[in-house]
Amino acid sequence: MLYDSAADETIVLKESSDTQNFRFTGISEDGEHIVITEDYVKTPEDWADAENKIIKRELTVPVPPQP
């Protein structure tokens, strides 16, 4: 979720599940993309072995242009 302080609302970007977690990690240098890190595992039990089982990948989401 992303909190928009200007609009005082929370926006769901992507929902987490038992095997996926998403974190807002920043904005691209050009300001045109939101950067999100996804942590995921094959089974919920794999979270217990974070060092060996958690896989990470970076996602970028375009920021809509302002009218």
**Whether pTM exceeds 0.75:** no
Of 33, 9, 34, 12, give the one whose Cα is nearest residue 24: 34
3-state SS assignment for residue 67:
coil
33 within a domain of the structure (yes/no):
yes
- Sign of CA pseudo-dihedral 8, 12, 17, 22: negative
Give the structural domain span for 53.
16-62
Question: For residue 24, what pLDDT is reported?
Answer: 85
11 within a domain of the structure (yes/no):
no
Domains of the chain: total: 1
Question: For residue 67, what pLDDT is reported?
Answer: 66
Mean pLDDT, consecutive 10-residue segments, the chain of 67 residues?
Answer: 69 83 89 91 94 93 77
